[in-house]
Amino acid sequence: MAIIKINEHTKTGKAFMAMFEAFFKGVEGIEIVEDNYNQVNEEEVIYSAEFVEKVRKAEENIKNGETTTLNPEDIWGSLGLK
């Protein structure tokens, strides 16, 4: 027995599944054993919740146009720290 893992959310995976169904549907000895469309592979979180929240807030600020432009000639002054 061989196992083939296919990511059906990718263009290639969708094409493979379409080809599979066209050529092998109903053929004895070949079948889809597991169909987990809602399966999510959870990876270990390596960032603290506080850091993730800061990044999300920064992304939201950028979307709202709330950014700071730095002058490379006067970085401290651009930040109001002079």
Q: Six-digit token pair at 52? A: 């993730």
Does 55 have pLDDT greater than 70? yes
The CA–CA distances, whole Å, from 46 to 31, 42, 43 equal 38, 12, 9
Choose between 44 and 52: higher pLDDT: 52
Residue 19 pLDDT more than 80? yes
pLDDT of residue 12: 92
**Per residue in 21-48, pLDDT tens?**
888 878 888 777 765 655 566 666 688 8
The rounded distance, in Å, linking the Cα atoms of 1 and 68 is 59
CB 64 within 8 A of CB 58: no
Spatial separation of the C-alpha atoms in residues 10 and 35, rounded to whole Å: 16
